[in-house]
Amino acid sequence: MDRFLIEGGRPLNGEVRISGAKNAALPLLAATLLASTPVTLRNVPDLKDVSTLIKLIRGMGVTITRDGDTVTVDTSTLNSQFAPYELVKTMRASILVLGPLLARYHDAKVSLPGGCAIGSRPVDLHLKAMTALGAEVTVENGYVHASVGGRLKGSRIQFELVTVGGTQNALTAAVLAEGTTIIDNAAREPEVTDLAHMLVKMGARIEGIGSDTLTVHGVEQLQGCEYPVIADRIETGSYLAAAAMTGGKIRTTHTDPSLLEAVLQKFEEMGAVVTTGPDWIELDMQGKRPRAVNFRTLPHPAFPTDMQAQLMAVNTIAEGTGTIIETIFENRYMHVPELSRMGAHIQVDGHTAIVSGVEQLQAAPVMATDLRASMSLVLAALAAKGQTCIDRIYHIDRGYERIEAKLTQLGASIQRVAG
Ligand code: EPZ
């Protein structure tokens, strides 16, 4: 398993180009299954999760070509609506093919994703949404089998809690349903909005995009289109955190400040100077130590759970004490024991973590447990004294494109060691 060796203590400075968002690219790729003619996606990041989903869709007979950051999907050769356990178990977002397959081909068999490092993460709400649209859904031998005799029927879907993937599956199912569907308590994450915009470009009729009530008037057919994936707001926030962590100054480009207002506000509270333009964000820590901040993770537009670990890392070296409350996932503090090995002072009680900043973290051998937890360890290592070895970095390759190259360009000493 590959490891990172990071020599800490250098302020990071410079410019970094942000990639397309993993969490937008995955639902967009799944939604290409709805189109009768080829779809071309641009700004698709080259990440493990993206290639897993491409493999899964290719396994259904679909023709997919990739040229740099452009991916073209032609569904005319599709010959199966089956998503096997072997692939789904490696990536939960595979469940996103359920809505499109059911809507267009009226039948789908998709493996149930298992639990994962950040919690049990059930898909019950996805299945309820499919049932509300008239599908017969059974779960047997670890597989979801959903089918409908003819088109799905428009209906009212009321999500009891905000679910990003559930909203995406409901949306991609409802667009080809007969009649109107109203999705209440819909997720408003930018990656849901991005999906809705692409569906509209394909010919779907959706009202309320960006709000928590989506009204979908079903159409009979959707066409292919060309569509660019939005910038990765979490990758953006992670590089800005690297500047905050090391007292440096980093400009992220090809991004969008409107996607991460709650995060930028926290960086300002930390004492960073944040400046923005239409497609860039710069964070200047001016060599200062950050001030600790309190925050609570909540659905968009509030503070995102996918930035919790990274801001916790900054809090570990901040002046003062910061209280963090994780409300989205039940077990998203796996990075705490690893950060503690590096000298961080963190106390966890249920969903609350209290972080008392220390002046200096120390290098230590640590282990990555999930994607964002891994990034928090990279951040800690960038600020720590000595050489940190981070094991199991395959987690980070799922969501951060060319991370060593990008960090090296910013002045970090980071090396990948194969093992
Ligand atoms: C998406 O996961 C993201 N993944 C996650 O990013 C992100 O953390 C999460 O949204 C929250 O913003 C992708 O977009 C591919 P949810 P998703 O359904 O859709 C519970 C990362 O690091 N729930 O909004 O799976 C669930 O257990 C990843 O890039 C049910 O109970 O998240 C969780 O507690 C990790 N039943 C909460 O809802 C359901 O049927 C929110 O989950 C569905 C969800």
E-assigned strand segments in 287-364: 295-296, 321-325, 345-349, 352-356
Residuewise pLDDT in 10s, the chain (419 residues): 899 999 999 999 999 999 999 999 999 999 999 999 999 999 999 999 999 999 999 999 999 999 999 999 999 999 999 999 999 988 999 999 999 999 999 999 999 986 667 777 889 999 999 999 999 999 999 999 999 999 999 999 999 999 999 999 999 999 999 999 999 999 999 999 999 999 999 999 999 999 999 999 999 999 999 999 999 999 999 999 999 999 999 999 999 999 999 999 999 999 999 999 999 999 999 999 999 999 999 999 999 999 999 999 999 999 999 999 999 998 899 999 999 999 999 999 999 999 999 999 999 999 999 999 999 999 999 999 999 999 999 999 999 999 999 999 999 999 999 97
Q: Which atom of ligand 1 is nearest to the CA of 399?
A: 29
Q: Which atom of ligand 1 is nearest to the CA of 372?
A: 22
Of 192, 258, 272, 236, whose CA–CA distance to 375 is shortest?
A: 236
Is the overall model pTM greater than 0.85, yes or no?
yes
What letter does residue 215 receive in the DSSP assignment?
E
Interatomic CA distance for residues 342 and 102, integer angstroms:
48
> How confident is the model at residue 115, as a pLDDT?
63
Q: Nearest 10 degrees: CA dihedral of 240, 244, 248, 251?
A: 20
Residue whose entry in the numeric block shows the structure tokens 């199912």: 173
Of 1, 10, 47, whose CA–CA distance to 417 is shortest?
A: 1
225 is catalytic: no
- CB count in 10 Å sphere of residue 277: 11
Question: Which residue has its alpha carbon closest to ligand 1 atom 39?
Answer: 123
Bond preceding residue 301 cis, omega within 30 of 0: yes
Q: Which atom of ligand 1 is nearest to the CA of 127?
A: 40
Residue whose entry in the numeric block shows the structure tokens 């300002």: 268
Residue 314 in tokens? 């900054």
Q: How far is the CA of 165 from the centre of ligand 1 (A)?
A: 6
Q: What is the residue-wise DSSP string for 64-130? A: EEEETTEEEEEGGG----EE-HHHHTT-GGGGGGHHHHHHHHSEEEEEPP--BTTB----HHHHHHH
Strands 295-296 and 321-325: parallel
Q: How far is the CA of 164 from the centre of ligand 1 (A)?
A: 6
Any ligand 1 atom below 6 A from CB of 329: yes
CA distances from residue 226 to 17, 73, 303 in whole angstroms, order as listed: 22, 11, 31
Question: Which residue has its alpha carbon closest to ligand 1 atom 42?
Answer: 163
Of 219, 231, 336, 302, whose CA–CA distance to 19 is shortest?
A: 231
Question: Which residue has its alpha carbon closest to ligand 1 atom 6?
Answer: 306
Interatomic CA distance for residues 411 and 401, integer angstroms:
17
Catalytic residue, chosen from 5, 116, 298, 354, is: 116
At 249, the amino acid letter reads: K
Q: How far is the CA of 91 from the centre of ligand 1 (A)?
A: 12
Cα 63 from chain centroid? 25
Residue whose entry in the numeric block shows the structure tokens 């009649």: 179
Q: Which atom of ligand 1 is nearest to the CA of 128?
A: 40
Q: Are 121 and 190 in contact (CB under 8 A)?
A: no
Q: How far is the CA of 197 from the centre of ligand 1 (A)?
A: 21
- CB count in 10 Å sphere of residue 257: 20
Of 226, 281, 274, 216, whose CA–CA distance to 254 is shortest?
A: 281
> How confident is the model at residue 1, as a pLDDT?
85
Q: Are 328 and 359 in contact (CB under 8 A)?
A: no
